[in-house]
Amino acid sequence: MSKAPILQVQSITKAFGGIMALNNVSFDVFEGEILGIIGPNGSGKTTIVNCITGFIKKTSGHVLFRGKDISKKPAHKIADMGITRTFQIMRPYYSLPAYKNLVIPLFSPRARRTGGWRGGGRLGDRNTVGIDILEEIGFERDSYVPYKAAATLPTGYLKRLELARCLALKPDVIIGDEIFSGLSMSEIASMVPLIERLQMDGITIIMIEHRLRELFRVANRVMVLNFGEKLMEGRPAEVMADKRVKEAYFGSQEVEEVMTHA
């Protein structure tokens, strides 16, 4: 983990009418780390993803990427710079087969510049590169799964497809909005090594999660949001031990478990 912050979020505030979804939230993300963001429902996690990636306009505040202000840039420019995201509500291109879903991001200017995944297809066929990426992300190449229409894929594969869409751009940063939710324990167990491998490839990862136990195993640092405000940030062990976090999650079965078993 190197020391330079790749992303600097500086006092972002977002108000939806009267609702303060985010109130003066600041944090740094360091190159190559996995930062977890947790918080109860409605605490502003998705909103912060939308603010960083330019999908909604911030009321105030700045986001710096490698020291450059990207606050005013439109979403497609930010993605083009290498900050990609997944969506909490997955909407793949349902009518297309899984690998054709990747032809679309591979058509983007960034994918053309960077030459696809791992130098694969600057001039190559996008279909082949798409299948390569799917294999990287855990689709069995020789099975029929990559060729099935996205509409017929189970949740586990759709989550992987969301990640694959990010990988097609050879991103510097991936922001995953609840990649683990809706997955079974064993599915998550098979996703964890994948995330760790992406980190080893030098990708900085921000993970928004509700599944605290699994998140704490992979995250280097964790930030806690509550009612749109930053409650604390620190190493997983520190966060687990913090009383305020327990209070914020009061009543949540899982947290009780994580806290006591840790």
Partner 1 sequence: MIKDQRRKERIDRGIKVRSDGIYAMMSWRELTYLVIPRLVLIIGMLILPLVLPGMYWQRVITITCIYALLAISFDFLAHFVGLVCLGGAFFVGTGGYLTAILNTSLGLPPLLTIPLATLLGASLCTLLLLPCLPLRGVFFAIVSLMYPLFAMRVIEALDILGGTDGIIGIDSFANRWVEQYMVIGITLLFLFGVRRLVNMDIGLVFRGVKDNDQAIRASGMNITIFKAIAVFIAAAMGCMSGACLVHIYMWSGISQFALDFSILPIAATVIGGGGTLVGPLIGCLILVPISELLRDFGTLRIVFYSLILVGFIVFRSEGVMVYGQRKYHQFERWTRI
Ligand X SMILES: Nc1ncnc2c1ncn2[C@@H]1O[C@H](COP(=O)(O)OP(=O)(O)OP(=O)(O)O)[C@@H](O)[C@H]1O
Residues 82-101 that bind ligand X (CB under 6 A): 88
Residues 89-128 that bind partner 1 (CB under 8 A): 91-96, 100, 103-111, 126
What residue 183 binds from partner 1, Mg ion, ligand X, none (CB within 5 to 8 A, per partner kind)?
A: none
What one-letter code names the amino acid at 96?
Answer: L
Nearest distance, CB of residue 94 and partner 1, angstroms:
7
Strand ranges, E, within the chain = 5-16, 19-30, 34-38, 60-65, 68-69, 83-85, 173-177, 204-208, 221-226, 229-234
Binding of ligand X by 19 (CB under 6 A): yes
Binding of ligand X by 36 (CB under 6 A): no
What are 136's two structure tokens? 């990287």
Q: Answer yes or no: are the C-beta atoms of 25 and 233 closer than 8 Å.
A: no
Contact with ligand X (CB under 6 A) among 43, 53, 86, 226: 43
Nearer to ligand X, 56 or 149 (CB): 56
Residues 159-188 that bind partner 1 (CB under 8 A): 165, 168-169
Strand partners, 205: 34, 174
Residues 17-46 that bind Mg ion (CB under 5 A): 45-46
Nearest distance, CB of residue 194 and ligand X, angstroms:
22
What residue 199 binds from Mg ion, ligand X, partner 1, none (CB within 5 to 8 A, per partner kind)?
A: none
Binding of partner 1 by 88 (CB under 8 A): no
Strand order in the sheet with 173-177: 83-85, 173-177, 204-208, 34-38, 221-226, 229-234
Dist. CA 89–CA 6, nearest whole Å: 26
Q: Answer yes or no: are the C-beta atoms of 26 and 214 closer than 8 Å.
A: no
What are 146's two structure tokens? 């990559």
What residue 253 binds from Mg ion, ligand X, partner 1, none (CB within 5 to 8 A, per partner kind)?
A: none
Contact with ligand X (CB under 6 A) among 9, 45, 79, 167: 45
How far apart, in Å, do the first and last CA atoms of the chain sit?
25
What x/- string results for residues 85 through 124 when contact with Mg ion is judged by CB under 5 A?
---x------------------------------------
What x/- string results for residues 42 through 71 when contact with Mg ion is judged by CB under 5 A?
---xx-------------------------
What is the full DSSP assignment across 219-255?
Answer: -SEEEEEETTEEEEEE-HHHHHH-HHHHHHTTT-HHH
Nearer to ligand X, 6 or 51 (CB): 51
How many H helices and E strands in the chain? 11, 10
Q: Which residues make up the interface to partner 1 (CB under 8 A)?
A: 53, 55, 74-77, 79-80, 84-85, 87, 91-96, 100, 103-111, 126, 165, 168-169
